[in-house]
């Protein structure tokens, strides 16, 4: 099993999109990429911790490749909006690929470069590609939030 970590706006919808993919073994939402130890949702929403709302995925590389996960990541959000997705605005909603290995870093950079070359977007892609850092699991009520409420998606 391997891990992948993505931030693409509010983590509820992002988790739901990845959770239903064959080869994804588990998902959890949380906070990463910041400078504050053990942040709460309230801390992260203050904009002072530097964390992004993110989804950490455990996947079976024999069933789905990291490149396929990257494709989903690019498809489910607008990577050209800085610190926002839809109605969610703030640094915690930025677009980030958090890589766990040099292979993931290379694949992420390659996929971003390829997407930029397609001309699909009129404005530059602002997605960050950063090393994975401490991942703090969000409060339980955030885990599988949409599924618990009988919803299949949010504004993504």
Tens-of-pLDDT digits for all 156 residues of the chain? 999 999 999 998 999 999 999 999 999 999 999 999 999 999 999 999 999 999 999 999 999 999 999 999 999 999 999 999 988 999 999 999 999 999 999 999 999 999 999 999 999 999 999 999 999 999 998 898 677 777 666 654
Tell me what pLDDT residue 155 has. 54
Do 68 and 24 form a contact (C-beta atoms < 8 A)? no
Question: Which of the following CATH numbers is that of domain 2-148: 3.40.50.1110, 2.40.50.100, 3.30.1060.10, 3.10.105.10?
Answer: 3.30.1060.10
Confirm whether 154 is a catalytic residue.
no
> Looking at 7, 8, 10, 57, which residue is catalytic?
10
Tell me what pLDDT residue 154 has. 66
Tell me what pLDDT residue 71 has. 98
Tell me what pLDDT residue 153 has. 62
Tell me what pLDDT residue 156 has. 46
Beta strands in 80-156, from DSSP E residues, in sequence order: 84-85, 88-89, 95-99, 128-131, 136-137
Task: Give the number of other Cβ atoms within 10 Å of residue 39's Cβ.
Answer: 22
Q: Encoding tokens for residue 126?
A: 């602002």
Do 129 and 105 form a contact (C-beta atoms < 8 A)? yes
């Amino acid at each position: 099993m391997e891990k992948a970590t993505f931030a693409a706006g509010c983590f509820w919808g992002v988790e739901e999109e990845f959770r239903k993919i064959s080869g994804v073994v588990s998902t959890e939402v949380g906070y990463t990429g910041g400078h504050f130890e053990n942040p709460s949702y309230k801390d992260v929403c203050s904009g002072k911790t530097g964390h992004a709302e993110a989804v950490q995925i455990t996947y079976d590389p024999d069933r789905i490749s990291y490149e396929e996960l990257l494709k989903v990541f690019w498809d489910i959000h607008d990577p050209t909006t800085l610190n926002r997705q839809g109605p969610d605005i703030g640094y915690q909603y930025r677009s980030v690929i958090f890589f766990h290995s040099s292979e993931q870093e290379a694949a992420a950079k390659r996929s971003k470069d390829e997407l930029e070359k397609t001309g699909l977007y009129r404005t530059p892609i602002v997605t960050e590609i950063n090393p994975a850092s401490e991942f703090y699991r969000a409060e339980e009520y955030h885990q599988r939030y949409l599924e618990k409420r009988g919803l299949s998606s949010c504004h993504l």
